[in-house]
Amino acid sequence: MIHKFTKRANQMKPSDMRIILTAGEQPDLISFAGGLPAAELFPMEALKKASEAVLTEDGPVALQYSPTEGYAPLRQKTLERMEAIGIQANLNQVMITSGSQQAIDLTGRLFLDEGDTVICESPTYLAALNVFNLCNAHIVDVEMDENGMIMEMLEKRLQENPQAKFIYTIPDFQNPTGRTLSLDRRKQMLELAQQYDVLILEDNPYGAIRFSGTPIPPIKHFDREGRVIYMSSFSKIFAPGLRLGWICADEAIIEKYMGFKESADMHSDGFAQRITSKYMEQNDIDVHIEKINAAYRDRCQTMYECVNQYFPETVSCVKPAGGLFIWVELPDTIDSRKISITGLEKGVAVLSGDAFFATGSKRNALRLNFSNTSEERIIEGMKRIGEVLHQELRI
Ligand code: PMP
């Protein structure tokens, strides 16, 4: 039988996301491949209490269809969380989404016609690249250094692509590099966006996962004209299985998002929204975040020390101040795809850096996730990957 797929479906390439999501389900494998939060730190008892309360107090409503924009008390709480980091908005400017992945997907539907240009960091979040590719967008990437996107390069790209629709940026502890966009560059990016009249898509799921240094205000904080679409998520600070994220943008933009969300899933899981909201009423979520950050700080430190101890001296790596990932750049002679295949044979999953480049051509980096593995297993896994790297250099 011939499957009469769309052109879009036929273009779809096998995704590394599937490797990540299934690797998480094999207990013996040491997986540094995903971006999974530590499951043992999910606040289980408090969640049981919150779920029980939701079912007892308003079970039928929680299980009924509900408004597309999301459960108002939860939207209010996201508003307060944004206010605490310097974003001024009102309730009509917030919509709950099914994870921030849906927020990115809806953004593609809303802004990208075939051939439209998106400007991204290089490298960037692979599932955002997947969205933009499925929209048949033209992806233009901008090199980064330790302070994020390089502004001179961004300006050059804007000059070359005056019709670009938006700049996609992950300002804090970027996926995959762990880098943070400096304060000056945040302001400069907004100025450039104004000058060249493009939107900014600020994807910030990791901002609260900071374990050293001082927080930097989001780009949205400086936005006075609704040029920044801000999105974040409960996945990293709470539990990704609940699939809850949010978008904050001007009302006219949110209205449009709602039209597309209605077609996608009508609304995000109402029960999950109420459980999350109830949890936040009954508990201080920031105490929970401090607890996970403390564990991630230790795991990150252990992994970083292992890079220095077990990896060849020719690798380079900067310790991130937050987030879930360490990015390791390998000598040019090493093919990171090969390392990830040999790593799997040795029982360790790592992601080859090429997945995060729009062109997929740069094959000498690895993204290592530290949040979902105990320090003991981090040490074991890093020793094994270290051996694979030394072996590869000897060939
Ligand atoms: N944006 C970035 C940069 C991410 O790393 C992720 C998840 N790894 C997401 C968005 C999507 O997260 P979620 O849908 O779970 O909120």
Helical residues (DSSP H) of the chain, grouped into ranges: 7-11, 16-23, 44-63, 72-84, 99-111, 126-134, 151-160, 183-195, 251-265, 270-282, 285-310, 336-345, 375-394
Give the DSSP letter of residue 15: P
Half-sphere exposure of 352 (CA within 13 A, CB side): 22
Tens digit of pLDDT for each residue in 363-384? 899 999 999 999 999 999 999 9
- Least-confidence region, from 5-14, 70-79, 157-166: 5-14
Whether 225 and 191 have beta carbons less than 8 Å apart is answered as no
Model confidence at 27: pLDDT above 80: no
CB-based burial label for 229 (10 Å; 0-12, 13-18, 19+): buried
Q: Which residue has the tokens 């939701």?
A: 54
| Distance from C-alpha of 126 to C-alpha of 356, rounded to nearest angstrom | 5
Q: Measured in angstroms, how far is the CA atom of residue 190 from the centroid of ligand 1?
A: 23
Q: Work out the percent of the chain whose per-residue pLDDT is above 70.
A: 96
| Torsions phi, psi for 25 (to 5 deg) | -100, 0
CB 109 within 8 A of CB 135: yes
CA neighbor of 292 nearest in space, from 363, 239, 250, 249: 239
Rg of the Cα trace of the chain?
21
Expressed in angstroms and rounded, the spacing between residue 3 Cα and the centre of ligand 1 is: 31
What pLDDT does residue 5 have? Answer: 87
Ligand 1 nearest-atom number relative to CA 243: 15
For 25-29, 82-86, 166-170, 287-291, which range has the lowest pLDDT when averaged over its residues?
Answer: 25-29
Ligand 1 proximal residues by C-beta, below 6 Å? 35, 99-101, 125, 170, 175, 203, 205, 233, 235, 240, 245
Q: What is the rounded average pLDDT of the residues 16-30?
A: 66
Residue nearest to atom 11 of ligand 1 (CA): 101
Report whether pLDDT(24) > 80.
no
User: What's the start-to-end Cα distance of the chain, in Å?
Assistant: 46
Distance from chain centroid for Cα 115: 24
Q: Which atom of ligand 1 is nearest to the CA of 240?
A: 15
Taking only the tens place, the pLDDT of each residue in 200-258 is: 999 999 999 999 999 999 999 999 999 999 999 999 999 999 999 999 999 999 999 99
Q: How far from chain centre, in Å, is Cα 159? A: 28
**Atom number in ligand 1 closest to CA 232:** 16
What does the pLDDT look like over 68-94, one tens digit per residue? 999 999 999 999 999 999 999 999 999
Report CA(394)–ligand 1 centroid distance (Å): 37
Residue positions counted in the chain:
395
Pairing of strands 30-31, 348-349: parallel
Structure confidence by residue, pLDDT tens digits, 108-133? 999 999 999 999 999 999 999 999 99
Query: Could you tell me the pTM of the whole model?
Result: 0.95
To 10 degrees, the CA torsion angle through 78, 83, 86, 90? 90
